[in-house]
Chain A
Amino acid sequence: DAGVIQSPRHEVTEMGQEVTLRCKPISGHDYLFWYRQTMMRGLELLIYFNNNVPIDDSGMPEDRFSAKMPNASFSTLKIQPSEPRDSAVYFCASSYFSGYTFGSGTRLTVV
């Protein structure tokens, strides 16, 4: 298994631009999570899905953030418009019954 696959690995964008992060979870995993990691705030859960259905999006910072999971093998996290304070590493993780498997993350820099 290739693990959880995230793209892109790095993204540099200008303030105000739309950013889309992508995630392919491990086949058979029924949970998918989006986390954001910064030095100041650590690992923050943004949103998670169970069987493609969003369960809890209370961690999404504001309306500029949205996430979708159109099928069991794909999810996106979109930021529109992006702001410098969105700069962070965004991780996708999937799980089935036990520990999470994290992707390698997308390092987002908004200038």
Chain B
Amino acid sequence: GQQVMQIPQYQHVQEGEDFTTYCNSSTTLSNIQWYKQRPGGHPVFLIQLVKSGEVKKQKRLTFQFGEAKKNSSLHITATQTTDVGTYFCADHGSSNTGKLIFGQGTTLQVKP
């Protein structure tokens, strides 16, 4: 079945540094959703990307969808301690049944 791979698994940064997590698939992604889960919390929907090459921004967060729709990235500029958490990408897969397949997530730690 389809697998969505995320790298890195963990990332420790100094506050103010940038951070990027990557989401890769061996098959074409239908669309990509990104979620953030704070420690002890639940995943919270951030954004959905649908079009090839799409770029969306939310304040310090920049989301990109690859031209071939086989990868996506989330970039955070000048991290803050509030950015701490695990970031997941997820895809509906080829069937587009409403079921999301989640990556393993990237856990971000920010040192003040």
Contacts and interface: CB of A to CB of B under 8 A. Distances in A.
Query: Do these two chains interact?
Result: yes
Interface in A55-111: 55-56, 91, 93, 95, 98-105
Interface string B91-112: 0000001111110110000000
A102 B97 CA distance: 18
Given A98-B48, A99-B33, A45 B99 contact: yes
A100 B45 CA distance: 6
A102 to B, nearest CB: 4
Interface string B42-75: 1111011000000000000000000000000000
A100 B43 contact: yes
A4 to B, nearest CB: 9
Given A56-B97, A100-B33, 9 more contacts: A43-B43, A45-B101, A45-B102, A99-B48, A100-B35, A102-B43, A102-B44, A104-B41, A105-B42
